[in-house]
Every structure is written in structure tokens, then in C-alpha cells.
């Protein structure tokens, strides 16, 4: 049984489809109810027998997070895996120009939301003495990215939470890891590029592709495969941040 936040699109949707294909029962969480329904339709099209619970929630509100965890346990009695994925990109601005309200919103969703999810899921997993958590960090969580102070700060924080909880809860049979994607082509990535270069974002996309050692964008399905592995077959991998970026993190 797997909970996935941000399941209405992008990495969350791709991971939900993959998890269903592998036989997981799913609790799918997103702020956008219609997007959640679309994800469920896609899952059932490929895996008609899938057992899918949909929960609308704002992950920046702890009461909503506690609610999706409680509803999941009420239906499935346990939580085997948790893809703690919901997030937003914020607005590209230099640090000194960054609006404080936008900064705070990014932190509320990307960092606080991950913390709330871990806090309440870990209580369940500790009691059952098993489980696996994957948090979505970013390449921007392991190095600096211009015009992305809020996003980068939030993702650095996600990595800190991941490593701390990994050493706290390993003895209970719980593995906790983070993934650090770079330029996986999703609506969020497209939106970020359009904000940076509204009139010529396609050229920015071409530059991003040309700078990558593999000369392409990553696919959400490739992230889904990694998440599925970490949630089901990688119990002795714990406290690790795994880059999924075509080798970009090591390019000089």
C-alpha cells in the first residue's frame, strides 16, 4: 500500500501508474481534485483491478496531512510506502528581489509539507515496524541554482530531513531516501522555463537539453521506475540522495 502526494500530474502521476502496474494499492493525494481523477482514470485504463483511494489535500496544512494519513490507514490498515512528492517551483527571481510571501509559500509546500507527511506517516510505520519513504528533492537541493532561492532552500531542507529521519528510524525497519531530479520534462519544468523566458522558452529548453550529458530531458516514467524500486526492493538503501539527471550533477 503506497501513498503518493502530488499525484495529479508529473512525477506523482507517473509513479502512481508504475506502482499500480506492480500491484500496489494506492492512496493518491493532490490539491487538484480533477487532476487526481484523471490520474485514476489513466491507472484504471492500464490496470483495471487497481485499488485507488483519492484524497484532496493541501500538504502545507498539517490538519490536511493528518487527514490523508488517517483516511489511508482506515481503508488499508497500513502504509508500506510513501512517495512524499508534492511541490511547487515558485517564481524565478534573484535572491534580493524575491518576494517574501512567495518564498514563504514555497517553503510551506515544499519543506513543511514534506515534514508533515514524514511526521504522520512515520508514526504509522514505526508502529508496524516497516516501511519505505521517498522524498522528492532536486538537483537544486544539492547545489545552487540562480533565480531559485526559495525552491533551492526548500529542497536542501528536504535532504536534511531525509538524512536525519533515516538515522532515527532505520532500527524500525524503515528506509528513507530522497531523489534529486534534474530537468524531467513535466508541467512544472515547462512552467518554470516559461516564467524565465516567456517569449522564447523553447530555446531555453534546447539549451537545457544540449547541456545535459545524455542530450535529452528525463521522462517522468523513468522517475516512476526509480521510486518503485526504492519503495519495494531497496530496504538497505537508507539516507541516500539519488540523482536522476542524466549525469548533470557531475558535469564540470
| pLDDT one-digit tens code per residue, 18-35 | 999 999 999 999 999 999
Cell numbers standing for residue 207:
539549451
> What is the average pLDDT value for the chain, to the nearest integer?
94
Q: How many alpha carbons fall within 13 Å on the CB side of residue 74?
A: 8
Report the pLDDT value the prediction gives residue 85, as an integer from 0 to 100. Answer: 98
Report the pLDDT value the prediction gives residue 34, as an integer from 0 to 100. Answer: 98
- Does residue 151 carry a catalytic annotation? yes
CATH topology of domain 2-250: Rossmann fold (3.40.50)
Which is more confidently placed, 177 or 197?
A: 177
Q: Tens digits of per-residue pLDDT, 166-195?
A: 999 999 999 999 999 988 877 776 667 677
Q: Tens digits of per-residue pLDDT, 89-100?
A: 999 999 999 999
Question: Which one from 68, 98, 116, 151 is the annotated catalytic residue?
Answer: 151
Kind plus residue range of the DSSP H or E element containing 230: helix 220-232
Cell numbers standing for residue 10:
508529473
Report the pLDDT value the prediction gives residue 62, as an integer from 0 to 100. Answer: 98
3-state secondary structure of 175: strand
Cell numbers standing for residue 193:
522555463
Give the Cα separation of 31 and 169 in Å (integer): 29
Domain map of the chain by residue range?
2-250
Residues 6+ apart with CB under 8 A from 225: 18
Contact (CB, 8 A) for 14 and 220: yes
For the purposes of burial, counting CB atoms within 10 Å of the CB of 71, is it exposed (0-12), middle (13-18) or buried (19 or more)? middle
In the predicted model, what is the mean pLDDT of residues 199-204? 71
Amino acid at each position: 500500500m503506497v501513498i503518493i502526494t502530488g499525484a495529479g500530474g508529473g512525477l506523482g502521476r507517473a509513479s502512481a501508474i508504475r506502482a499500480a502496474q506492480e500491484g500496489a494499492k494506492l492512496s493518491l493525494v493532490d490539491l487538484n481534485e480533477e487532476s487526481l481523477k484523471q490520474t485514476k482514470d489513466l491507472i484504471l485504463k492500464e490496470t483495471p483491478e487497481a485499488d485507488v483511494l483519492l484524497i484532496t489535500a493541501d500538504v502545507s496544512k498539517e490538519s490536511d496531512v493528518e487527514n490523508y494519513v488517517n483516511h489511508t490507514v482506515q481503508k488499508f490498515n497500513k502504509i508500506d510506502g510513501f512517495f512524499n512528492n508534492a511541490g511547487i517551483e515558485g517564481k524565478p527571481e534573484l535572491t534580493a528581489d524575491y518576494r517574501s510571501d512567495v518564498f514563504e509559500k514555497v517553503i510551506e509546500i515544499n519543506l513543511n509539507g514534506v515534514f508533515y507527511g514524514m511526521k504522520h506517516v512515520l508514526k504509522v510505520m514505526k508502529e508496524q515496524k516497516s516501511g519505505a519513504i521517498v522524498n522528492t528533492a532536486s538537483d537544486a537541493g544539492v547545489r545552487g541554482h540562480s533565480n531559485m532561492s526559495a525552491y533551492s532552500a526548500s529542497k536542501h531542507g528536504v535532504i536534511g530531513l531525509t538524512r536525519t529521519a533515516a538515522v532515527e528510524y532505520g532500527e524500525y525497519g524503515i528506509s528513507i531516501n530522497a531523489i534529486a531530479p534534474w530537468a524531467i520534462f513535466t508541467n512544472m519544468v515547462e512552467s518554470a522555463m516559461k516564467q524565465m523566458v516567456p517569449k522564447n522558452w523553447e530555446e531555453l529548453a534546447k539549451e537545457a537539453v544540449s547541456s545535459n550529458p545524455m542530450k535529452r530531458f528525463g521522462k517522468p516514467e523513468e522517475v516512476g521506475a526509480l521510486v518503485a524500486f526504492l519503495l519495494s526492493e531497496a530496504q538497505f538503501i537508507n539516507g541516500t540522495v539519488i540523482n536522476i539527471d542524466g549525469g548533470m550533477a557531475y558535469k564540470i
